Chain A
Amino acid sequence: MEAWLEFGRGPLFRISFTLMVLGSLRIIILQIIGMIEAYNRSADKIVPWGDLWKKTFSWLIPIFNIWRKRPVYSVISVLFHIGLILVPLFLAAHVLLWKNSVGFGWFHISQSLADYLTLLVIITAPLLFLMRVLNKNSRFISRTQDFVIPLLLVIPFITGYICVNSSISATGYQVMMFFHVYVGNLIMIMVPFTKIAHCVLMPFSQFVTGVGWKFPKGAGDKIIATLGYGNKPTWFDNPRIGIVTEAETSQEQEDKK
């Protein structure tokens, strides 16, 4: 067991950490390149930067936005995210781990604050899950990962909390630590490939939408050429759009009467 833990905290951690960082960098860079390409392709360079920055920050720090709609769910969600972001990054033990394995660290939060934040996550994550399951809209639009991820995310928090705050047997401790470390690694690997990616992509969202509405000139002509419609776009009679159906014209005449 000890060896497994060592592996999980040592080499495996380095691998997952690298995968997370490289994977995230990859999607961020692709995103930025895509955005720049699109911007360059369109002749329209008027982007409402101020408005987009404002929107971006209003959602990154959503103190004003969350009360408007679904306030209970939104507040719980925000609390969940606060704990979720702060604890893994700024827990003293984690900072030490970074330092030992990747060679650098940063400031850390006090153990008691970390404990409160951990409890916050442990309480809010199941609530979010329940709200997703019980609300018929949320349930309807959810994919498997939407149900699984909150439950998966909470495992390292529960196990971590138990390890730090309870006097369990040595084996118990090791089992807890095992789950803590391995699920933690799994989550890191999942970051770039699942919806967790929103933690790195969200700052770009408003800009993506803003630039997305900038259309390149001449694209329409190229598209019909590629499709082999030549100079016959949709507003000509052609195999795609033929003559008006008999049935419908007579139907309309009836309607008019």
Chain B
Amino acid sequence: MELKITEEGLKKALKSARKPEVTAKQKLPVRYHVEDFKVEGRTRAFLEAFAAILKHSNYKFVLDHYIRISAKCSRCTTNCQIYEVTGDEHDIPCYRSELLLSIYRRHFTVAGQMSGRLFGDPGLTDEHLQELAASVWNCTACRRCVNECPMGIDHGLVTHLARYVLSEIGIAPRALVVSTREQLIGDSGNTSAIPVPALLDTLEFLEEDMEEEKGVKIKFPINVEGAEYLFVPAVSDFLMEAETLMGNAAVMTATGGSWTIGTGYFDGINYGLFYSDHVLEKAVQKILAEAERLKVKKIMIGECGHASRSAKYFYPAFCGGKDALPIINCMEYAYDMLKAGKLKLDPNVIKERVTYHDPCNIARPGWIVQQPRELIRAFCKDFVEMTPNGRQGVCCGGGGGTVSIDEIMPYRMEIGGKYKAKQIVDTGAHYVIAPCANCKKQIREIIDYHKLDAELVGLHDLIYKAIIFD
């Protein structure tokens, strides 16, 4: 498979699903849908929002550092899966960051303001704003480019901030905003709008299934006060990843774990990580409220990269600092149980070749890299790695929330996910394990779109097949 994009592919990828009238009315040449917002005076509004964010949050010293230190060495070009496919200079990570950094330099530093006045530089233009709005959503915020920046500039952080400022003036993908609205002020209180009765029905149905298949009573404990773990998967798992959930339940049952699902809040998804610190905070605090209600001791996040990261790395910041409850990912639990000899897996069930995709959000910081591999090696005979992998792993192309934006699917397939598609083909694996709700959706679409001979599964899907009950 050729990595470089063809002309025809590029045409498909860049085609906008938006109506030209809407684009013209909003003066916004982006590919994602945006709810209506105030168009006139938006550069001013952007600068005001930027100023407010700088005032109250922690970004200022970071930007000060980045504008001084950037050496423009262009090593980052070698590590961005978007750039490697398009070869377009506008997709160079350092260029993308510069779009925001230049606004900061011009409007928020003394030197910039002075030279602006001196040379009659008008400052932030609407065209620049439009380019920024398009560019930051081409990036998947996978932070792979950070690995190759000698200056330690985190382009993912800059993208994150740019999206936050834009969202404060109303420019954010509608798909994410609508889900967030449902999660934070909607009746269902979760991003997939699943009502509690439907959830209970689903779980009951799965319990019956599991009893039939495994001959063991496996429960989804609901609202158990004082349980050890509050289990919070990406809520979409309840709709789309039944096998993964059954795997989770099977592991907990086989190892005698004390866990519960709370009907007050059962959604690990947090789009705030992608576009708004405000949303990030409020969504994380919903987990806190549920954990307090059920008086659990720890929180276990399901198979989902961004849900795990937004909880693990932001729960302490927003929910009690040092006293915050410990957060673990379900794979860590399974790994510990395997080491303790409580989780037994039959090595003769999975005969096909398997490979493992590292979700960026949990692999990049080096948090969950080894655990799933040891689990896989414990029962899969034919395990092959993708190259590169682990902390250097390549994004599936649906990171940073882009996988939830359906209208940019061709972009995700032709550009974002091309590298991953090539990696999958190169391994020759039948099972592609991707322990993340976002990666699962994206890679499933990749397999479909590029007609690959592979099957996408979660790690717990396979564990469910091979688990042994005493």
Residues of chain A whose beta carbon lies under 8 Å from any beta carbon of chain B: 27, 30-31, 34-35, 37-38, 41-46, 48, 51, 55-56, 59, 62, 65, 68-70, 73-74, 77, 135-138, 140-143, 146, 193, 195, 197-198, 201-202, 204-206, 208-209, 211-224, 226-227, 233-236, 239-245, 247-248, 251-252, 255
Whether the Cβ atoms of A142 and B57 lie closer than 8 Å is no
Q: Is the CB of B314 closer than 8 A to any CB of chain A?
A: yes
Q: Given that A234-B170, A239-B38 are known contacts, is A223 also in contact with B52, CB under 8 Å in the complex?
A: yes
Q: Which residues of A contact B19 (CB under 8 A)?
A: 247-248, 251
Q: Mark B309-320, 1 if CB is under 8 A from A, else 0.
A: 000011011101
Stretch binding the partner chain, chosen from B173-181, B260-268, B337-345: B173-181
CB neighbours (8 Å) of A208 from chain B are 61-62, 65, 152
Q: Which residue of A lies closest to B70 (CB)?
A: A195
Flag the segment in B274-282, B353-361, B373-381, B459-467 that touches A. Answer: B274-282
Measured CB to CB, the closest approach of chain A to B229, in angstroms, equals 20
Q: Which of B33, B153, B185 has the most CB of A within 10 A?
A: B33
Residue contact A245 to B281, C-beta cutoff 8 Å: no
The chain A residue sitting closest to B317, CB to CB, is A44
In the bound complex, do residue A209 and residue B18 qualify as a contact, i.e. CB atoms below 8 Å apart?
no
Residues of B within 8 A of A30 (CB): 61, 64
Q: Is B92 an interface residue (CB 8 A)?
A: yes
The chain A residue with its CB closest to the CB of B77 is: A137
Residue interface mask B106-122, A partner, CB < 8 A = 1: 00000100000000000
Chain B's closest residue to A233 (CB) is B278
Per-residue 0/1 for B267-290: is the Cβ within 8 Å of any A Cβ (1 yes, 0 no)? 000000000111111100000000
| Complex contacts, B21 vs chain A, CB 8 Å | 247
Q: How far is the CA of A239 from the CA of B72 in the complex (A)?
A: 39
Which of B49, B170, B321 sits near A44, CB closer than 8 Å? B321
Residue B78 contacts which of A70, A209, A220 (CB distance < 8 angstroms)? A70
Q: Is B135's CB within 8 Å of the partner chain A?
A: no
Residues of A within 8 A of B365 (CB): 48, 51
Interface check B240, CB cutoff 8 A: no
C-alpha spacing A197/B79, complex, angstroms: 25
- A51–B70 Cα distance when bound, in Å, is 22
From the candidates B25, B57, B92, B317, name the one contacting A43 in the complex (CB within 8 A): B317
* Residue B167, interface by CB 8 Å: yes
State whether A255 touches B95 (Cβ < 8 A). Answer: no
Contact, CB under 8 Å: A245 / B70: no
CA distance A181 to B153 in the complex (A): 34
- Contact flag A219-B177 (CB < 8 Å), given A43-B320, A235-B184: no
Say yes or no for B366: interface residue by CB 8 A criterion: yes
Query: B407 to chain A: which residues have CB within 8 Å?
Result: 255
Instruction: For A214, list chain B residues within 8 Å (CB).
Output: 58, 317
A224–B59 Cα distance when bound, in Å, is 16
Q: Which one of A65, A209, A222, A239 lies within 8 Å of B146 (CB-CB)?
A: A209
Given contacts A138-B73, A213-B157, A223-B53, 14 further A-B contacts (CB under 8 A): A43-B318, A44-B317, A68-B148, A140-B95, A215-B58, A220-B282, A222-B52, A226-B56, A234-B170, A240-B37, A242-B37, A245-B35, A248-B19, A251-B18
Interface residue B172 (Cβ < 8 Å from any Cβ of A): yes
Contact for A217 among B65, B281, B313, CB less than 8 A: B281
Q: Interface residues, chain B, CB within 8 Å of chain A?
A: 17-19, 21-22, 25, 33, 35-38, 48-49, 52-53, 55-62, 64-65, 68-75, 77-79, 89, 92, 94-95, 98, 111, 146, 148, 150-154, 157, 167-170, 172, 174, 177, 180-181, 184-185, 276-282, 313-314, 316-318, 320-322, 365-366, 407
- 25 example contacts (A-B, Cβ-Cβ < 8 A) are as follows A34-B60, A38-B61, A43-B321, A44-B317, A46-B316, A59-B152, A77-B73, A137-B74, A137-B92, A195-B71, A197-B69, A198-B71, A198-B151, A205-B153, A213-B313, A215-B314, A223-B52, A234-B180, A240-B169, A241-B36, A241-B37, A244-B36, A247-B21, A248-B174, A255-B407
Identify the closest chain B residue to A38 (Cβ).
B58
Residues of B within 8 A of A51 (CB): 365-366
Q: A45-B322, A46-B316, A241-B36 are in contact. Are A222 and B56 (CB under 8 A)?
A: yes
Most A CB atoms within 10 A — which of B57, B61, B282? B61
Known: A69-B75, A141-B74, A241-B35. A204 touches B65 (CB 8 A): yes
Q: Within 8 Å CB of A41, what residues of B?
A: 58
Chain B residues in 8 Å Cβ range of A195: 68-72
| Contact indicator A201/B276 (Cβ below 8 Å) | no
Does the CB pair B61–A37 fall under 8 Å?
yes
CA distance A30 to B109 in the complex (A): 13
CA distance A23 to B412 in the complex (A): 46
Q: Determine the chain B residues whose CB is within 8 A of the CB of A198 once the complex forms.
A: 68-69, 71, 151
Q: Which residues of B contact A236 (CB under 8 A)?
A: 181, 185
